[in-house]
Structure 1
């Protein structure tokens, strides 16, 4: 079964379809780097996720979110425009929170706090209402004006900025994301004074490749503050295939393989979006 993303999809959400779906959209005669929204496919049909920007063209709201449901409900997730993400900026900081207007649905007070250097993300700190003594900090490293790696560091009642994992990013000559490699941190169990580290000699890892790029400009480039759109935001063009392969300690592929492919609709050579 072919998995199809519709127009500007979320990275982690897709719908399985036997046939490609034709979606009527507004005319998009020219490219926009600040789309007002994009189309998605839900159980009820075609819907849209919309954005709002401030006077500095920074995105401040996303209207329309997916809600993950318990497996006991029989549904993986639902979409509603009564779910929102709002972003407040102050200096080089930004705070992202999710809000619900749905009856009976309340998001926990989980907060994402961003630190910027210009338009680049320096780090993100995730705090969780149900885990008050636990934080996740994602530290971004750049090279040649491109993301090089993202480290996950955890602070809890036992550890402070404890390295847990790293994602290394690789780009092709066209300025498009080629792949990323995820590795867990290693520990020296004989000497606890040695902090966790990434051992590149180990063969167990998870590799995600991005391919089948189109030749159109990327309308996601200013939407990387949303974690589900971050990979999309990194390239000059738009990938249409994503494959992840896990490798064991011997460097052999495991059964943990996933692949997604999809198609965009285009108008005058550009991806159709809400303008």
Structure 2
């Protein structure tokens, strides 16, 4: 499963009290799927393959292990991603790359900071700001002159993501803006809620109450020396995903083929 630091991640958890369970039973526990085809997770353009799927393990309601790794055109079921939790920190490590580690600082069960380490050297940091119906993320690589700003926008009624903007700045000047519009949401509970820290694809999927099935991505390059001083708006790219559902209308991430 690809790990692209300069793009995105998040998670959500949930707790409830004892005597109020009957009155508060309308609150929904996050799902814990144990398998998922890569087609539904991070390779929607691929065909469904009986052997290409991730396996998920949980402890005390937390995702602790993912078995499976997608790298280019190859998939390994014997590679593992580990998540460990201590206090307000979550750490991600990899069986196939012992040099790479991601450490999150959590507050109210949400990430407020991420640090990427390679061989114990900090490669970059990411800070999160939460506003009404909006999440802002600032990404700063340790080396280089670039800064990255990500903003997610939400529908306050449905709690589903409506748009994201990814802005690349170089020495303070705008270089490129990627805008994504999310639509065609189903009515099913989101099965990705506990997976948001792991990758950019899962982060994006974890943010909403339901599941988007269409993304429209537009890229604008600003008039900047790195772009030949020419402003270009590229044609929108549309991505669609067709989920399968059980008899109760819930998404099936793994099913007979």
TM norm. shorter chain > 0.5: yes
Q: What are the within-5 Å matches in structure 2 for residues 154-169 of structure 1?
A: 154-156=141-143, 164-169=147-152
Q: Residue deviations 1:106-139, cap 9 Å, x none?
A: x25111111101310111111124xx65511111
The 10-residue stretch of structure 1 (111-120 or 219-228) with the greater mean CA deviation from structure 2: 219-228
- The residue aligned with 2:58 is 53
Mark the structure with the bigger radius of gyration.
1
The 10-residue stretch of structure 1 (220-229 or 42-51) with the greater mean CA deviation from structure 2: 42-51
Q: Does 1:238 align with 2:196?
A: no
Q: Residue deviations 1:134-187, cap 9 Å, x none?
A: 51111111013x55211101224xx8xx77110111112421111111112353
CA distance in 2, matches of 1:243, 1:11: 22
Q: Call closer, same or farther: CA 1:32–1:95 in 2, change over 3 Å.
A: closer
Q: Call closer, same or farther: CA 1:231–1:246 in 2, change over 3 Å.
A: same
Q: What are the within-5 Å matches in structure 2 for residues 135-146 of structure 1?
A: 135-144=123-132
Alpha-carbon RMSD: 3.2
TM-score, normalised with respect to structure 1 = 0.68
Q: Residue deviations 1:180-237, cap 9 Å, x none?
A: 11112353xxxxxxxx5xx7xx695110111111111111112111123001000011
TM-score, normalised with respect to structure 2 = 0.73
- Secondary structure of the 1:229 match is helix
Structure 2: gaps (5+ residues): 5-28, 40-45, 224-229
CA distance in 2, matches of 1:273, 1:133: 37
- Secondary structure of the 2:205 match is helix
Q: In the alignment, is the contact (CA less than 8 A) between 1:11 and 1:229 conserved in 2?
A: no
Structure 1: gaps (5+ residues): 1-8, 13-30, 68-75, 101-106, 188-195
Cα displacement (A) at 1:274: 5.8
Q: In the alignment, is the contact (CA less than 8 A) between 1:245 and 1:253 conserved in 2?
A: no
- Secondary structure of the 2:186 match is coil
Cα displacement (A) at 1:11: 11
- The residue aligned with 1:175 is 159
Q: What are the within-5 Å matches in structure 2 for residues 208-247 of structure 1?
A: 208-227=180-199, 228-247=201-220
Q: Call closer, same or farther: CA 1:186–1:245 in 2, change over 3 Å.
A: same
- The residue aligned with 1:65 is 69
Pairing partner for 2:82 from 82, 86, 111? 86
Q: In the alignment, is the contact (CA less than 8 A) between 2:153 and 2:164 conserved in 1?
A: yes
- The residue aligned with 1:259 is 238
Pairing partner for 1:149 from 124, 136, 145? 136
What is the aligned residue count?
216
Q: Call closer, same or farther: CA 1:252–1:238 in 2, change over 3 Å.
A: farther
Q: Call closer, same or farther: CA 1:171–1:256 in 2, change over 3 Å.
A: same
